[in-house]
Amino acid sequence: MILVLDFGGQYAQLIARRVREARVYSELIPYDTPVEEIRARNPEGIILSGGPCSVYEDDAPRVEPELFDLGVPILGICYGMQLMALVLGGEVGAVQIREYGRSDIVVKSHDGLFAGTPDRQKAWTSHGDAVFAVPEGFEVTAETPSVPIIAFEEREKGRYGVQFHPEVRHTDYGLEILKNFLFEACECRPEWTPVNIINDAVEKIREQVGGARAICGLSGGVDSATAAMLVHRAIGDNLTCVFVDHGLLRHNEAEQVVEAFAQNSDVPLIHVNSSGRFLDKLAGVTDPEAKRKIIGEEFIRTFEEEAGNIDDAKFLVQGTLYSDVIESGTRDAARIKSHHNVGGLPEVMDLDLVEPLRNLFKDEVRVVAAELGMPEQLVWRQPFPGPGLAIRVIGEVTAERLEILRRADAVLQDEIRSAGLYRELWQSFAVLPAIHSVGVMGDARTYAYPIVIRAVTSDDAMTADWARLPYDLLERVSNRIINEVPGVNRVALDITSKPPGTIEWE
């Protein structure tokens, strides 16, 4: 295991992902986790993430000096490198020329992190401070034209630092550098595999649930389905799945979910139609956070009611992912939006949560799902938010607006699949802003809704780029929506990446 200490940097989660991509298990923990607690975790290595602060500020995050005496290799990245230098007796200060973006680095030593990489390479930098003098015993291993100390090492004690970001794809040999740390410095073994993930998850579920019964909130997506399969493997017939149709699903989706589950699983499924209940609660609500929290609470109350009909049902299984947790806000990461299954949960619940995917990213879940034998069409189903179309109607959610959005989205999905682009996109969907625009149809003035097309590519939903859809595809989508969906007279395309935008509009 590798522990990544989070100093609030924008790439902290990405470090943990890259370590896992090398098939080494990693966990992200707060930077001020006590050293004794870290020692008890018995990590093979420690990585100090980047962060937004300057190390010489009075209130900058610090670590206990004893961290560097644990006898395990430590890699500092950006802020982590500067903090290592400062704690161990080096000097850090502001540079005259800041480095942001791809920088040319010159490697001066290939004995450690840079083994097997060229003398000159490009790396992603984002810093206004730098190490001016290395601590005693350290060797400068790389430089840039404006920063003479871009990397240093003290290999005998297993201490390494890089001012750039090896976890970012824009760093040419970033993965090789991380692997040199993992496999050479830390002597890790690539054992973080789907089989081991499954075995560990099943063991933890059995420990938590014991002989009690559980219900699983099934949505029809790969996350909840994978969670259900893992829990079923752990507790067998003590699991019952509950599919709640909240009236915020896409065209014919409820029927498709029930049919697909029946064909691919032996787990009992309860289908609850609660569409009227959710729409009543959402009446007059326009604030996105309020929508998410209302939906999150109604889900829980519905699950609690169904659990009351099952003897000894004490647990609720959810397909919560790591990205859900991060975006809903942690101590070192600001809230971006409350996910209905994390930040949108009510404070008081009758059921204890079982979340076997809570520490996994979406790409890891898909690998696990494939290992469990899940059908390919479900493994690669595009993500659909738990609050459903409620957060794709921008404004108050009404039955009329939902029906318009369903029909427009069905056209988009049909054309995306016909073009063979479904698997290439992370998500593609329609958005309905609750406004009207002027148009002309049949020589008459119209005043109707616009539809916004959103399509993005991504690896894990933490970042995303807007998809460059072909013009002829966009033309077909626009023509069909305007001609086939009453109440729409305009189609627009969202070309915002994440950041600065999010994938969903609310």
Secondary structure E strands in 260-414? 269-273, 313-317, 352-354, 393-394
- Dihedral, CA of residue 193, residue 199, residue 202 and residue 207, to nearest 10: -120
Cα 367–chain centre separation: 15
The active-site residue, picked from 99, 153, 154, 167, is 167
Residue 216 falls in the annotated catalytic set: no
The answer to whether 389 and 248 are in contact (CB under 8 A) is yes
Angle 359-360-364 (CA atoms, 0-180°, nearest 5)? 160
Residue 209 corresponds to which tokens in the numbers above?
Answer: 């649930």
Does a cis peptide bond (omega within 30 degrees of 0) precede residue 346?
A: no
Residue 165 falls in the annotated catalytic set: yes
Cα within 13 Å of Cα(177), Cβ side: 32
Question: Cα–Cα distance between 32 and 12 in angstroms, integer?
Answer: 15
The active-site residue, picked from 78, 186, 188, 241, is 78
Residue 436 falls in the annotated catalytic set: no
Q: What are phi and psi of 191, to 5 degrees?
A: -110, 5
Identify which of 213, 209, 227 has the alpha carbon closest to the alpha carbon of residue 372.
Answer: 227
Q: Residue written as tokens 């959610």?
A: 397
The active-site residue, picked from 21, 99, 154, 165, is 165
The answer to whether 278 and 297 are in contact (CB under 8 A) is no
The answer to whether 436 and 501 are in contact (CB under 8 A) is no
- Count of positions (residues) in the chain: 506
The answer to whether 412 and 493 are in contact (CB under 8 A) is no
Question: Cα–Cα distance between 417 and 26 in angstroms, integer?
Answer: 36
Q: What are phi and psi of 216, to 5 degrees?
A: -115, 125
The answer to whether 84 and 68 are in contact (CB under 8 A) is yes
Identify which of 163, 117, 166, 157 has the alpha carbon closest to the alpha carbon of residue 137.
Answer: 157
- Given 3-state DSSP classes, what are the helix, strand and coil percentages for the chain, each rounded to the nearest 5? 35, 25, 40
Question: Cα–Cα distance between 351 and 428 in angstroms, integer?
Answer: 34
Residue 163 corresponds to which tokens in the numbers above?
Answer: 């001012």
Q: How far is CA 215 from CA 203, 272, 330, 370, in A?
A: 18, 13, 27, 23
Alpha helices (H) in 328-380, listed in sequence order: 362-371, 376-379
The answer to whether 436 and 449 are in contact (CB under 8 A) is yes
Alpha helices (H) in 168-287, listed in sequence order: 174-179, 194-209, 222-235, 253-264, 275-282
Q: Residue written as tokens 């550098």?
A: 177
Could you list the active site residues? 78, 165, 167
